[in-house]
């Protein structure tokens, strides 16, 4: 997939979030977040999908963990592997605190991303990553819930196709509340800084 195509989809998604992001940027909270603060502006973590072990899971199953939600797919040639590799380094930099976090990689290509495929893929990057898939309708509803976007490109004639998708990372606290949004322009240091703060907070912080 051409990187510019992904950027176009990401731009459309970010434009849809413009008002929300502006509100988050001007919040006057005591916590010195570096990422975009979306507290109170996005819905709680809620879904019904299947994890990479074939088990039905919901957002409730990840209560008690800080969650990093990312939409992508295993055939993605560039942005997804780069993002997951970056998140692995972030987890390493967090040290023991990282055990309190989970990376939820939601497939926007459920036709090809079976639990077995997802399991092999996410575990190649980080043991705290979980692959999630499900019915196309459920994936679409979850994407819309967080104002994400994805589009399947035309089949190339051999059963191969690409999926353009947004590349934001949605971060939820231990209570499943949406707290932060990280976009591709944010640095790894920003992620480490804010996750360290969020992981250091207790539930209901």
How do the domains of the chain map onto residue ranges?
3-152+161-200
**What is the tens place of the pLDDT at every residue in 103-130?**
999 999 999 999 999 999 999 999 999 9
In angstroms, the CA 180 to CA 48 distance is 22
Contacts of 83 (CB under 8 A, 6+ apart): 70, 72, 167, 169
Give the tokens for residue 135: 């019915």
What is the fold, at CATH topology level, of the domain defined by 3-152+161-200? Glutaredoxin (3.40.30)
- Residue 146 is given by DSSP the state T
Beta bridge partners, 180, equal 37, 171
Residue 157 CA to its chain's centroid (Å):
30
Lowest average pLDDT, out of 25-34, 47-56, 167-176, goes to 25-34
pTM: 0.83
**What is the tens place of the pLDDT at every residue in 134-186?**
999 999 999 999 999 889 888 877 778 889 889 999 999 999 999 999 999 99
Confidence of residue 43 (pLDDT cuts 50, 70, 90): very high
């Amino acid at each position: 997939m051409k990187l510019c195509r992904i950027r176009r989809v990401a731009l459309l998604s970010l434009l849809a979030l413009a008002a929300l992001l502006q509100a988050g940027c001007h919040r006057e909270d005591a916590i010195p977040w570096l990422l975009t603060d979306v507290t109170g502006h996005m819905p709680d973590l809620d879904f019904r999908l299947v994890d990479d072990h074939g088990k039905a899971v919901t957002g409730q199953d990840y209560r008690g963990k800080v969650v990093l939600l990312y939409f992508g797919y295993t055939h993605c040639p560039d942005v997804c592997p780069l993002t997951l590799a970056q998140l692995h380094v972030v987890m390493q930099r967090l040290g023991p605190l990282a055990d309190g976090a989970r990376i939820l990689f939601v497939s926007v290509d459920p036709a090809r991303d079976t639990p077995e495929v997802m399991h092999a893929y996410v575990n190649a990057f980080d043991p705290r990553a979980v692959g999630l898939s499900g019915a196309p309708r459920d994936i679409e509803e979850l994407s819309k819930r967080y104002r994400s976007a994805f589009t399947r490109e035309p089949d190339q004639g051999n059963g191969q196709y690409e999926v353009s998708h947004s590349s934001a990372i949605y971060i939820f606290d231990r209570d499943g509340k949406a707290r932060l949004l990280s976009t591709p322009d944010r640095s790894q240091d920003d992620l480490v800084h804010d996750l360290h703060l969020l992981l250091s907070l207790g539930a209901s912080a």
